[in-house]
Structure 1
Amino acid sequence: AELAGDLTALGARVQVLAVDLTDPDAVRDLIAGLTDGDRLAGVVHTAGVLDDAVVTGTDADQLARVLAPKADAAWHLHEATAGLDLDLFVTYSSIAGVLGSPGQGAYAAANAFLDALATHRRALGLPGHALAWGMWDTDGMAAGLRAVDRNRVTGAGLGLITAPVGVALFDAAVTADDAALVPAVLDLPALRAAGGVPP
């Protein structure tokens, strides 16, 4: 309600809808409803679920729980909007899909799919950006991390993204020509000390 109020005050028309984006029919109905007599300007897909385990310990249910809100939902949004004149189609990926992340094989795969989808959309002449975010210093998905896990991330050369920096990175990313980008705060000396800067 607070976000809807803020957006309305800025001149936006706001609807809050509950839709299962893993259901292709529900996504088609959503897009049809949003574009009935109006133009949909863009899609920003931010969903994600963590269910950490090493690859050999990941079962089919865990894989489905992690892939569905990212890969399935993004694909359904892609299919439902492919014929529309969108200004942007942005998915929130993760640096875990670029650099890997211990215990997050399923999550890394889901995010690598988003990076590939953005590239695929560009090849079709459609807008597409996948933003492989570093770790945010907010109450997001990383909020449940233990201090030792946060220290592992920052010790490996990844700084925490504050909200103002994240907004600036988003604004820069959606105007970039590249489809798959890594908006992150990097500590290059720490990366070098950890054994070299990843390509």
Structure 2
Amino acid sequence: MSVLPLVFTSGWASGINAYAVVLLLGIFGATGLTDEVPASLQRTDVLVVAGVLFLCEAVADKIPYVDSVWDSVHTVIRPATGAVVGALLAGQSGSLPDIAAGALGGSTALASHLVKAGTRMAVNTSPEPFSNILLSFAEDLGVAGLVVFAVFHPTAAAVIAAVLLAAGLAIVVFLWSRIRRFRRRRAQRREEKRTAAVQGAPPY
């Protein structure tokens, strides 16, 4: 069986939460639920580090503006993780060249990371923190659910990941277009107030 769908889905998930992907795949491999996971991801030290970093992300990801800083730091880490996981999965199955799998996993992770980072920057324009928390929980549940689903139904999971990626790109474009319009209107109102104040000022 081709490992391509699993590589694509793990790449998408890595762009959202790379540590959750490594942790979940490692646990599935270590418990014998799947033979697709290489031994390097099942090592105890890898699972411990992934678990600790996952907890750090779970906290940082729910705090406005801290999440954007965290995303900036992970602009390289998430695509790199997607590439490494993809190459390891391909090497384990032998059905796809490692380089091709790494390129697919890394590029997919980069695309989903940019969607996540762009969405968070847009959401951070909202003054209340609850939207960040809800969005973070939704992302965590989505990554966990889709990675689990991908282990047992890789093709169907890859289709869902592709739809989510396309929808995410569309949402980011929509949000930023709305934000730009809002900022233009606000700047225009400020200029109108300044103009009115100058015109209404008494002569010297």
TM-score by length of 1: 0.31
Q: TM-score, normalised by structure 2?
A: 0.31
Q: Which has the higher contact order (CA 8 A, sep 6+)?
A: 2
**Structure with the largest fraction of helix:** 2
Greater fraction of residues in strand: 1
| Structure label with greater radius of gyration | 2
